[in-house]
Structure 1
Amino acid sequence: MVRCWKHSENRLEDAQCTDGGSAASPRSHFPHKAFWVSLSASLLLVIIALTLTGHLGQSKPHSESLQLVRITAPDQNGLLINQSAVVDPQNNLVTFSVTSPANQTSTVLFDIKHGLICYKPVDQESCYLRKMEESDYENVHPLLQASTHKQGQIQLSRNETQRQKEFLGVLAASPVDVSMLEEPLQTLCQDSSVHWTRRVDGPGNQRLVYFCIDICFPSNICVSVCFYYLPE
C-alpha cells in the first residue's frame, strides 16, 4: 500500500491511492534492471570460462599424445647407432631424427595418413619425397604400438638385425610446389626445394651416390637409403 497526500483547502489530508502502480514504477523498475544486468554479466563470464576450458582441453590431449621412442642398434662394426622417433598416433606421423657418423642429423618423416615419406638432409636445402610401400607401413607400425604402450626404449640385437640397402633416384626435372604439401611436410620443407624420388635397382657406374641415411626399425630391420640424381 502506497501512502499519498491530497491537498484540501486548509490542510493536507492523508489518503490511500487506488492507482499505486504509477507512483511505484520509477523505484520498482530499478531492482529489475540491476538483476538483468548482473545475470547477463554472469552468463558472459560463464561462456568465456567454458570457451577457455574447451580450448585447453582440445590442445592438451595432442601434446600428451606425442611419444618419444629411442632406438638403439649395433652397426656392422658393432658400434651402437642411437636414433629417436617422435610418434604422433593422433595424426599418424612418425618423425625420425637420424645422426650420421659425421655427427650430422637428418629428418625422415613418415606421413602415414597421406602415404608419403619425406627425407630432409641437414646439410642440404632440399627435401625428397617418396610414396610409402607395404614394407614401409610394416616397419613403422611397431612404433605406433610402442607409443601406445608408452615404451620409450627399443634395443635391437646384433645377431637378429637384418640390414638392407635401398637406392632412390631423384627426379630433379619435376620439382614440387611446397605450398601444395600438407602439414607437417610444408613446415619441414619450408624454404627448400622439393623433389620426387622413386626406388631403383642401383645408381650404375656412371652415377654417384651423394648421401645415405640409415634408419633402424623396431622390427629388427636397418635400412640404408641412398640417393642419386637420375639422368634428365
Structure 2
Amino acid sequence: MATQTTLIPATELAARNRARFPNESAEYRQARNALLAEEIELRRHLERVAEMRRRLPPGGEVAKTYRFESEYGAVTLADLFGERDTLIVYSYMFGPQREKPCPMCTSLMAAWEGKLPDIEQRVSLAMVARSPIERLLAAKMARGWTQLKVYSDSDGDFTRDYVSAGDEDVPGYTVFTRKDGTIRHFWSAEISNEMADPGQDPRDAPDPDPLWTLLDTTPEGRGGDWYPKLEYRNG
C-alpha cells in the first residue's frame, strides 16, 4: 500500500523564500510571496493530474493495422514504437489543402526538434500529417530539421479514428502503449474549442509548447492577437 505524504502548506513553504532583489518594495515582496504560494500549488496540481493520467484504466486495444508512408517506405503503427513501449503521435495541421504547414504546429514541433534525443530516451515520438510524404519531407527540409520523424497518413484511417472523425485538418496528440505485443490507446488531448474559457484560445494543460510557458512569465503575456509565424523578416 502506498504511503500518503502530508505536504507542508504552500504558504508556509513560500514564507521560507529568501529571494530578494535590489530596490524591491515591501508591497512587491508580499505580493510575490503570495504568488509563489500559488505557483507551488500549481506545481502540486500538475503532479496530481499527471498521477491521475498514469492511473487510467487500460485504453482500447488498437485492432486495425494503421499504415503510414515514411521517407524510407511503408510502415505500420507498430513500427513507430521502435524499441520503446510507449509512442507519442503528434498529428499536425498540414493537409493536402494547405499551401504551408500550420504555424502553431510548426512552433511546437520546432521546440521538440532539438529535444528529440532526450525524448527518445524514454518514449518514441512520431509526427503525422495527411499530406503526401514528399510534401512533409520538403517542409521538414525547409525548416532545417534533421531529427523529427515525419509520416504521411495518406489514406486517413488513423486520422479519422484518433484525431477527427470528419477528417478535419486539426491537431491531435495521442499516446499509445505496447505490452506483450498488444497496442492500446493510453491517452489523447481532448480539450476542444468548446471548452475554451472566455477570452482564451483553447489550450491543453499543461501547454506542450514552451513558447507559451515562457511568455506566461512576462508582463505582456501571450497577447490576444499574436501567433507564431513560419517566417520573420527584419525591417
After TM superposition, is the score higher than 0.5?
no
TM-score for both structures, normalised by structure 1: 0.21
The higher radius of gyration belongs to: 1
Q: More strand by proportion, 1 or 2?
A: 1
TM-score for both structures, normalised by structure 2: 0.21
Q: More helix by proportion, 1 or 2?
A: 2
